[in-house]
């Protein structure tokens, strides 16, 4: 899969998996703008206010993000992985909130209080299974 | 979500996400036996024979495994995460191969050449969104 297609599939995906140092892994929702992945902590119940993903990024900014398609037909699998550098943004995230609300109508009923996480995409790679020859 | 239910949902899931040091994240198929997650490198095309996940585990055995359910109705989300220690097994994996073939009929047509990866579950935590009050 070429990098343009990989970036397209990443941007179209509705859920991704964010791995931070530890390793620690969480599902998250996000938008892609240019070469950046933007997400925000919302007010869905969490175990702590200062989430572990936030603490991890403040300590070690290297992250990996995955989106994938799985089904029982293994000739139709694909995934896209990003290696990148993340930072936590504590203010001026109205722009990110607007992009998230445009992609996810579910956010209409959710406060987006931040902080935001911005991942600069440094490497993107996609894989898909070879289609079965009919 | 209590730990028994979290372990049940982990075992029933058909795809998971394995984060190793780096961080590095890949989708993978697996079986749960007792307090262990068992998987195996198969012959689906990969970028290298000595996969990065294998190299990472040999260097740093700490891993995190996630399974999740995502849908557009955000009152029905859930995920289960495991923190554990992984090891690479290069031989005597007939037992693991048999468990994988029993769970995944797709493996009937795939050689399971190994190596295997065994994750000892040290911590398991599950989360699910609060149902919307009707």
Q: Per-residue pLDDT tens for A69-98? A: 999 999 999 999 999 999 999 887 899 999
Tell me whether residue B50 is in a domain: yes
Is the ipTM here above 0.90?
A: yes
Pairs of residues, one from chain A and one from chain B, whose beta carbons lie less than 8 Å apart? 93
Tell me whether residue A134 is in a domain: no
* Least reliable range by pLDDT among A59-63, B17-21, B86-90, B106-110: B106-110
Provide the domain count of chain B. 1
Tell me whether residue B75 is in a domain: yes
Question: Which residues of chain B are within 8 Å of residue A72 when distances are taken between CB atoms?
Answer: 14, 106
Q: Write the DSSP assignment of A12-80 as a string of letters.
A: H-S-EEEEETTTEEEEE--EEETTEEEEE--SS--S-SS-HHHHHHHH--EEEEEEEE--S-GGG-EEE
Question: Stretch A19-27: mean pLDDT, rounded?
Answer: 95
Tell me whether residue A105 is in a domain: yes
Tell me whether residue A114 is in a domain: yes
Global pTM reads 0.93
Of B15, B24, B63, the CB nearest to A70: B15
Give the CA count within 13 Å in the CB-facing half-sphere of A57.
23
Of B23, B74, B130, the CB nearest to A20: B23
A25 and B62 within 8 Å at the Cβ level: the answer is no
Residues contacting B1, CB < 8 A, separation 6+: B9, B78, B80, B126, B127, B128
Tell me whether residue B103 is in a domain: yes
Q: Residue B75 belongs to what H/E stretch?
A: none
Question: Which residues of chain B are within 8 Å of residue A6 when distances are taken between CB atoms?
Answer: none
Look up the domain containing B27 and give its range.
Answer: 3-128
Tell me whether residue A54 is in a domain: yes
Tell me whether residue A39 is in a domain: yes
Question: Which residues of chain A are within 8 Å of residue B26 when distances are taken between CB atoms?
Answer: 66, 79, 81
Q: Is the pLDDT of residue B50 over 70?
A: no
CATH code, B99:
2.30.110.10
């Amino acid at each position: 899969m070429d990098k343009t297609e990989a970036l397209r599939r990443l941007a179209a995906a509705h859920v991704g998996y964010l791995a931070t140092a530890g390793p620690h892994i969480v599902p998250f929702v996000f938008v892609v703008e240019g070469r950046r992945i933007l997400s925000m902590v919302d007010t869905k119940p969490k175990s702590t206010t200062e989430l572990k993903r936030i603490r991890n990024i403040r300590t070690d900014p290297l992250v990996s993000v995955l989106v994938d398609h799985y089904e029982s037909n293994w000739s139709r699998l694909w995934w896209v992985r990003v290696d990148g550098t993340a930072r936590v943004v504590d203010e001026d995230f109205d722009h990110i909130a607007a992009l998230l609300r445009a992609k996810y109508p579910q956010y209409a009923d959710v406060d987006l209080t931040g902080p935001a996480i911005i991942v600069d995409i440094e490497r993107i790679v996609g894989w898909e299974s070879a289609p079965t020859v009919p």
